[in-house]
């Protein structure tokens, strides 16, 4: 379910809101005077066919276990922390 955010708050914290959408896939409904008027949603991931065409299918980034754990921990913290 998308979280509701006032236009003024979205404007003041736009970089934080966009980062949260990108990292966690969160969705926000932007309201003006308590009336929904827009949504901020993540861009859909490309289809596997597009990845194959770009030569990226089946490739994994090389990262250590510690790097992966730190990234996972950071994503969880970002997901469960409210906006400032």
Tell me the two tokens of residue 15: 């970089």
Asked if residue 84 belongs to a domain, the reply is no
6 forms bridges with which residues in the sheet?
31
Nearest to 2 by CA among 44, 43, 41: 41
The residue whose two tokens read 């009336």 is: 35
How many domains does one find in the chain? 1
pTM above the 0.75 mark?
A: no
**Residue 44 or 9, more confident:** 9
| Domain limits for position 46 | 3-79
4 forms bridges with which residues in the sheet?
29
**Tens-place pLDDT, residues 22-55:** 889 899 999 999 999 999 998 877 666 666 666 6
Per-residue pLDDT at 76: 73
């Amino acid at each position: 379910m998308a979280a509701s955010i006032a236009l003024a708050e979205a404007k003041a914290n736009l970089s934080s809101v966009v980062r949260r959408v990108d990292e966690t896939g969160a969705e926000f409904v932007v309201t003006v005077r308590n009336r929904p008027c827009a949504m901020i949603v993540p861009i859909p991931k490309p289809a596997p066919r597009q990845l194959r065409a770009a030569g990226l299918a089946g490739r994994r980034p090389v990262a250590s276990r510690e790097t992966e754990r730190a990234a996972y921990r950071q994503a969880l913290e970002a997901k469960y922390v409210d906006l400032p």
